[in-house]
Amino acid sequence: MVRAPETQRQLEELRRVLLKPEALVDRISPVIADILAEQINQSRDEIARAIAPAIGEAIRHQVYQAREDIVDALYPVVGQMITRAVAEAVRNLAQSIDERVRQSTSVMLSPRYWQARVQGVSHGEYALREVLPFTIHELFLIQR
């Protein structure tokens, strides 16, 4: 049976694709990329739900493997957050101290003044101690 050269070439191409998975991957990779892009545009939430477990595991693995790199990447951001939090705490402290001082009509008549004297500290330091009932709400530790 004599086959046309075009048919013979197509049969050889089909054999190559079926018998060599790499060839199949090479042929369908561009199509898969287009299909994925279209699917992402149509249903972003479904795609996110589908790949979230794999991405979460990949992030956990990467954090475990490249801990130093992750710390280096987060350090500037965390530093800025801490700076802002401390600045706000100091601002709140200043407002609270100012309010306490304004509330006392006369320093000499204030019981706090005499309590400070008995304890051997200045009135300002005593007021500061009253205003600062420190409790630790959160502790963030970065090991370098």
CA gap 77, 64 in Å, rounded: 20
pLDDT in tens, 103-127: 665 666 677 778 888 888 877 777 7
| Helices 123-131 + 67-103 axis angle, to 10 | 120
Res 109: pLDDT: 66
Q: 43-80 burial string, b = 16+ CB within 10 Å, else e?
A: eeeeeeeeeeeeeeeeeeeeeeeeeeeeeeeeeeeeee
Res 37: pLDDT: 85
Q: Looking at per-residue confidence, does 142 or 56 come out higher?
A: 56
- HSE (CB half, 13 Å, CA atoms) of 28? 10
The domains of the chain are located at 1-65, 88-144
Res 105: pLDDT: 55
Whether the predicted pLDDT of 133 surpasses 70: no
Q: Looking at per-residue confidence, does 104 or 128 come out higher?
A: 128
pLDDT in tens, 17-72: 777 777 777 778 888 888 888 888 888 888 888 888 898 899 888 888 888 888 88
Please state the pTM of the whole predicted model: 0.37
Whether the predicted pLDDT of 1 surpasses 60: no
Res 29: pLDDT: 81
